[in-house]
Every structure is written in structure tokens, then in C-alpha cells.
Structure 1
Amino acid sequence: MPFKPNPTRPSFVPPLGAVDAHCHVFGPAGVFPYAPERKYTPCDAPKEKLFALRDFLGFSRNVIVQATCHGADNRALVDALKAANGLARGIATVRATVSDAELKALDEAGVRGVRFNFVKRLVDATPRETYVSIAERIAKLGWHIVVYFEAHELADLIPFLNSLPTKIVVDHMGRPDFAKGVDHPDFRRFVDLMAANPRIWSKVTCPERLSISGPPAYDDFVPFARALVESFPDRVLWGTDWPHPNMTTHMPDDGDLTNMIPRIAPTPDERQALLVDNPMRLYWSR
């Protein structure tokens, strides 16, 4: 589905220096072709549209995450990072065969981590030994690892996650099943993991992917995100997930998503940490 070209201007004004810490750039396909092994084909969503949305919503910076439709070809990501003039950082996808020179070039462009994807409908399985070898190499650069999985996979992944040598950022709160509620063992397992391992962070993102109650309020998202912001205020991030790839039910309004921020982070201190201090510490500390 195409993203909304004219989102609502949010009534919530983000604090100065706020970061959209989860978004993407796609194509344009004529310049940066999509990967032949991709599981879906998105609409083109070039850097110019992303930066215009950033400014319209009142944000100052972006963290751009390489999505599976581009595979391990990070050229569109690097192009956007260079065009951002220091106002964007990136999360890349790399293979075990990536060279030291390629990692150095990514680092110089503004990449600060790699993404490991365990969602089977989006990617073919990668052996965990491969991920470990990548983790050991990127740890030397001071990068971190972003992991994407679904809640039912967490129990099996916990030993692997705890073995990784870097900080770990979990996409979309580990995709909990909202129908089960915040007190269900599945979500409590994730909360307990964050409590036990101070290297694990979470993105409190993607109500449009997880909600059962639906737009524009996404009321059932709030208690899950609120629980993490309240319990781990210095290890949470927020992002739009623009341009919302692979959506099949509805396309969210990014203004509505932005207006949810004070519902999950009610105090000025929580919003400052969520939107400014935490992403700046993780992505712009060097």
C-alpha cells in the first residue's frame, strides 16, 4: 500500500532535537533496485520524502533502518545518510562475507548497527552462527544489533540474545499479541528479559502493525508501550516506521502516530529521554 502523501499535522510538538528512530528509504527502484530475493515489493519512498516528513512532523533527525526489500544492498541507505548531512544514522544489513573495508565505509557514512531478522514471512532463515560471526566483527566498531522477531519466538531466542556482545535494540516491543494483554506471560517474558539484561533496549513502535482496536487511537497499544517507557525510561526509542512497508489492512497517518507520543510518555522527562536523550546517546555519541 502507498504511504499517505499528506499526513495530518500533529498537535503534539516534539521536544527540540527529537529523533524518529525507526524509518526506511526505498528506492527509487530505477536507481536502487529491490533485491531479487525480497518477499514483498514496496512503493518507492526516497530520501527526499522522508526528510520532508521529518520536518513536517517536527523532528530533527532520523535513524534509517535497512529493510528486507533491499536485502544486503545498502546503497539507498548510504545515499540517504550522506544526503542528511549528519542528521541521520543508519542500521544496515550485511552478510558474513562483508569485508572490513565495506564495514569501514558504512561506518563513515553513519551506520551504527546491523539488523538481524527472524520473521520467517519476511526472510529466509539465517544460521545463528552466521549472526554470531557478524556480531563479533561489528562489536569492534562500537555498533549495536537490532533484532526483529515475533513474541512466540522469544523464549527460544533468549540464550542467543544474551550471548551477543553488543547492545541490542528490539524492534516493535518484540511484536506482542495485544489480545493477550500486558500481563500475559509472553509480554512479561520480554519485560523480564529487559530487566535482567541492561544491554537490551526496545522500540515502542508500530501500533499500526500490532493493534486490534485500530486507528486512529490504537488504544490497545498504549498499555504495552507505557509499561516499557515507565520501567526502562533510558532504554526506549520511538519511530514512525515510515513508509510503513508491507501493510495490508490500512495505511496509518503519521500525524496520528506522532500524537500518540504523550499517551505513552506522559511527562516531559519521559519524552525528552524517549525522543532525544536515548537516541542521541545510542547513535550520535561519536
Structure 2
Amino acid sequence: MSGHEVPHSSGTHAPAARAPALACDAHIHVYDRGFALVGSPDAMLDHATAGDYRLLQRRIGTERAVVVQPRVHGTDNSVTLHAIRVLGAARARGVAVLRPDVGDAELERLHAGGIRGIRFTLYTAAQAMTDFSMVEPLAHRVHQLGWHVQLHWSAAQIAAHAALLARLPGTVVFDHLARLPLPDALSHPAYEVVSRLLDNGRTWIKLSGAYLDSRAGARGGYADTTSVARAWVRQAPERLVWGSDWPHPTERAAKPDDAQLFDLLSQWVPDAAARHRVLVDNPARLYDFPATANPENPE
């Protein structure tokens, strides 16, 4: 397909690689001024609604999406529930941000709305909606629903909280290649922590956020990320998912090219069958997507 302009994405061309049917973008955020905002207004992004995201789907060819609650909308997950409805209940899921005082009725409402996990974005603790003391109690609460716990932590935080991580029940998902620093990702203590957790069969990693730790950058094709991505592929190909991280909220000065990011997956996962697993089979299992696409109108 030919490319076109998409808000918060550089370039206009389509990826060289063709997305398989039911391919999932397992990490996006939706920002919408129609919903309550918290914290600094500078964190808000315009032209980043669910409707805007559909343009990216058409460009890169993905059909399913996982909407991750952004910091600017706090713990009111209405914006994420709305995005799921807009994108289609059979083709979208969500990851919420919660505090321990959330009621059982609210958890049930969120589950019915397509939420399948909760996220702790503690990489920059000063701006976080949650803290480390909330992780374990909330993990036990959502485990009863079959949800996972998604973590955006620094490598240093992962290493420092290894004991906590080992105690968590249920499924744990590490964001953005587990945020291991480059170029010595595989020698960082956090690599051993995450690798040991992968052996428990309940730990997943998102192949996403190449630009967050790459020193090579877009001009260098993010080539320095390949060694850590392939290490995860070798260890647990059945527990990896891919995400664009659109609208790339950390990248304010220059937005990445989402076609380049999608094509990078072919370098990270050279085997076509394994890529299909990452894009289709694995997210279907992790996020509880239906076995086949529902022809419903996503409106």
C-alpha cells in the first residue's frame, strides 16, 4: 500500500515488510482533551486520539491494538475505554493505571470494557501516578481477573527490586526491551534478573521503544538494539509482543518513522514464522483477543 501522513510519525511511506492478518500493535497511547487531564499540561499531545491512530494502522497494516493509559489522563481510564470502543471491541484491548483503593466493581467494569492489565510507569518516579509500594497488592488484585502487570522501569530499578519481582503472582510484562542500557545491555545486572524471570514461564517482554536507549538512533537504523532484542527472541519467542509506542510521547523534538520501526522487527526477529508469532499469536494469547476477527463495525 502507498503511505500517507500520520500525526506524530515522520515519513509517509508504508513499511517494506507486510503485516500479517490480525497483526497487533501492542503498545500505543491515546490522548484526548475530551477527558480529564492531570499534572502538567505540557504532557498533553494533540492529534493523538483513537481516530488519529487509525491512520497509522492504515499505514503499517496492523489490525489490532493495545491502548496503554498515558500519564496525562491519570487513573481515570475513561479515555482508554473510549479508545477501545472506537477501535473496536474485538480488535482492541487496554492497560489501565490504578491505585490500591480501586473497588471490585470498578475492576469488573474495566474488564468488561477490554482492560487486561495494569501499568506501573516508575521510570521517572517524580511524575508517576503510582509507586513501588502499590505494585504487589495491586498485582494480587488483578491476578484474580487474569490480568497482567506491565512495568516501565529503568534497568537499575529492575535490578534493585529483583526480590519484589520474584514474588509477583501471574503474568509480568516488561516494556521496551526491559530498558537495558546500551551498548552493554547483556552485562547489566537487570539482564540477569529479567532472564531469570523469563524462565518462570509467566514473564513477557515488549519489543518496542528502540529509540529510548539506542545510541545509533534512526540514522544508524537502531542497529545497537538488535543484540538485546535477539537475546529475548532466543530465550522466549513465545512470550514477546511488538509495539510502536505511538504517538511517541518521549520524542518531542523529532518523531520517529513508524515504518522504520515496524521494519526493524524483521532484523530483531529474522524468522518469518517467529515474527508471525510475535505479531499475531502471542498478543492474541496475552490480551485475550478472539480466535478470529469480528466483522463488527468498529464505530
TM-score (normalised: structure 2): 0.87
Q: Which amino acid aligns with 1:77?
A: T
* Identity among equivalent pairs (%): 32
**Does the aligned pair in 2 maintain the 1:151–1:177 contact within 8 Å?**
yes
- Asked if the contact 2:180–2:191 (Cα under 8 Å) also holds between the matched residues in 1, the reply is no
Distance apart, 1:125 and its partner CA: 7.6
1:176–1:186 contact (8 Å) kept in structure 2: no
The answer as to whether partners of 1:42 and 1:69 remain within 8 angstroms in 2 is: no
Deviations 1:56-78 (A, max 9, x none): 21111001111212110111100
Partner of 1:130: 134
Residue in 2 that maps onto 1:100: 104
1:252 to 243, 253, 256: 256
Tell me, yes or no, if structure 1 residue 49 matches structure 2 residue 45. Answer: no
Provide structure 2 residue ranges, at least 5 long, that are not aligned to the other structure.
1-6, 291-299
Q: 1:18 aligns with which of 11, 18, 23?
A: 23
1:152 to 142, 156, 169: 156
The offset of 1:106, in angstroms, is 0.8
Alpha-carbon distance in 2 for matches of 1:130, 1:239: 26
Query: How far, CA to CA, are the matches of 2:179 and 2:157 in structure 1?
Result: 10
Q: For 1:166 and 1:139, how far apart are their aligned partners in 2?
A: 6
Contact between 1:40 and 1:246, CA under 8 Å: does it hold in 2? no
Shift of 1:39: 7.7
Structure 1 residue runs of 4 or more that deviate by more than 6 Å after TM superposition = none
Structure-2 change in CA distance of 1:38 and 1:198 (3 Å) = farther
Cα offsets for 1:116-165 (capped at 9, x unmatched) = 12212563484544322222211111111101101111121111111111
CA displacement at 1:227 relative to structure 2: 1.3
**1:1-286 → structure 2 map (5 Å cutoff):** 3-4=8-9, 7-27=12-32, 29=33, 31-36=34-39, 40-85=43-88, 86-120=90-124, 123-124=127-128, 126-180=130-184, 182-186=185-189, 188-216=191-219, 217-284=221-288
Specify every segment of 5 or more residues in structure 1 that has no aligned partner in the other structure, as ranges: none
Letter in 1 for 2:283: P
CA RMSD of aligned residues (A): 2.0
Q: Deviations over 1:44-64 (max 9, x none)?
A: 400001122112211110011
Over residues 12-67 of structure 1, what are the superposed CA-to-partner deviations in whole Å (9 max), with x where a residue is unaligned?
A: 1012211000111111x1x1132136783333400001122112211110011112
Aligned partner of residue 127 in structure 2, secondary structure? coil
Once the two structures are overlaid, the 10-residue window that deviates more, 168-177 or 41-50, is: 41-50
